[in-house]
Structure 1
Amino acid sequence: MKCPHKAHVALVDGENFLLARNDGQPFEPKLSVVATPSLETTNYSAGVRDQDDMGRRTGNSDLEELAHAAAAAEWLNAKALADELGELIVIADPKSLGEMRRHYHKELEACLIGEIGKAIATEPLENVAKAIERA
């Protein structure tokens, strides 16, 4: 996948959120950390529709993870609306990515140049850059 110079890369999973920037070339990205925002997970309605009967009975739900993904999307929306984001690639595990898509604002969608549905948010940035190259 082409990752333009100075494009942002959002790395999200159920617990982590990191915003990086490509300081390298489009087909040879070199990522550096821009921000590690602290998110308030207030949207607990996120993912309620996805809970299964067994998860409700045993209390093993992933509402915290889905609320975190919703909060990450809301943070990215705010940056896109403030015109502070530019081009963006979102990399998140498939469940988080699905929840984030439900919360994308039109301005954020206009910034998106790609998405990768992989659980690599905690990988070293060199590994993330290689995953972008291969995508």
Structure 2
Amino acid sequence: MAQIRLEHNIWLLVADGEKALFMRNEGNPLYPNLEVVREMHEKNPPTRQQGTDAPGRYFDAATVHKSGFDETDWHRIEKERFAEEIADRLYRLAHRGRFKKIILVAPPLVLGALRKSLHKEVSDRVAGEVPKTLTKHAVWEIERVLTKE
């Protein structure tokens, strides 16, 4: 993984499928001081609590075969929808000139969904990506993990 450089005033998005922290480095690359600018929360219970229908069946009359469909993963769909919300928020912030560079920190699934949803104005400002889940860490732990990368 490439070295992440936490320049002064660089923004970080630390997100997962339920929480997003928008942070700015008030320090310098050697001694970062991350400050939380904004938080987003989304309640995303497991699939078993979101949908109770059995998977559908497909009946092919020509060959008299029955096939089953995969069960819908509502939890994953909600993570992808939340990533789209985050991308919209980043676009509004970038459009207002709130940040020049940003580092995206998220688990691979969310990072991929986020990458697909980013507007060009935001994706041009992405200075790096870290495929990790750090939302449950304290701010000082996030600083420590990112400076060790």
Q: TM-score scaled by structure 1?
A: 0.80
Task: Give the aligned residue type for 1:129.
Answer: E
Q: Is the Cα–Cα contact under 8 Å of residues 55 and 61 in structure 1 kept in the other structure?
A: no
**What is the CA–CA distance in structure 2 between the aligned matches of 1:38 and 1:78, rounded to whole Å?**
18
Cα distance change of structure 1 residues 115 and 54 upon mapping to structure 2, 3 Å threshold: same
Number of the residue aligned with 2:71: 55
Q: How many residues align?
A: 120
* Larger radius of gyration between Structure 1 and Structure 2: 2
Cα distance change of structure 1 residues 81 and 38 upon mapping to structure 2, 3 Å threshold: farther
Residue 75 of structure 2 corresponds to residue 100 of structure 1: no
CA distances 1:72-118 after superposition (whole Å, capped 9, x unpaired): 11110121122222211111111100000001111101211111010
Number of the residue aligned with 2:51: none
Number of the residue aligned with 1:115: 129
The range that moved more, 78-87 or 93-102, is 78-87
Task: Give the aligned residue type for 1:114.
Answer: G
Number of the residue aligned with 2:57: none
Structure 1, unmatched stretches of 5+, are 40-52
**What is the CA–CA distance in structure 2 between the aligned matches of 1:127 and 1:93, rounded to whole Å?**
17
Structure 2, unmatched stretches of 5+, are 43-68
Task: Give the aligned residue type for 2:22.
Answer: L
Cα distance change of structure 1 residues 25 and 109 upon mapping to structure 2, 3 Å threshold: same
Residue 30 of structure 2 corresponds to residue 27 of structure 1: yes
Q: Is the Cα–Cα contact under 8 Å of residues 16 and 135 in structure 2 kept in the other structure?
A: yes
Cα distance change of structure 1 residues 24 and 70 upon mapping to structure 2, 3 Å threshold: same
Aligned ranges 1:1-135 → 2 under 5 Å: 1-37=4-40, 53-56=69-72, 61-135=75-149
Q: Sequence identity of aligned pairs in percent?
A: 25
Greater than 3 Å deviation, 4+ residue runs? none
Q: TM-score scaled by structure 2?
A: 0.73
Secondary structure of 1:102's counterpart equals helix
Larger strand share, 1 or 2: 2
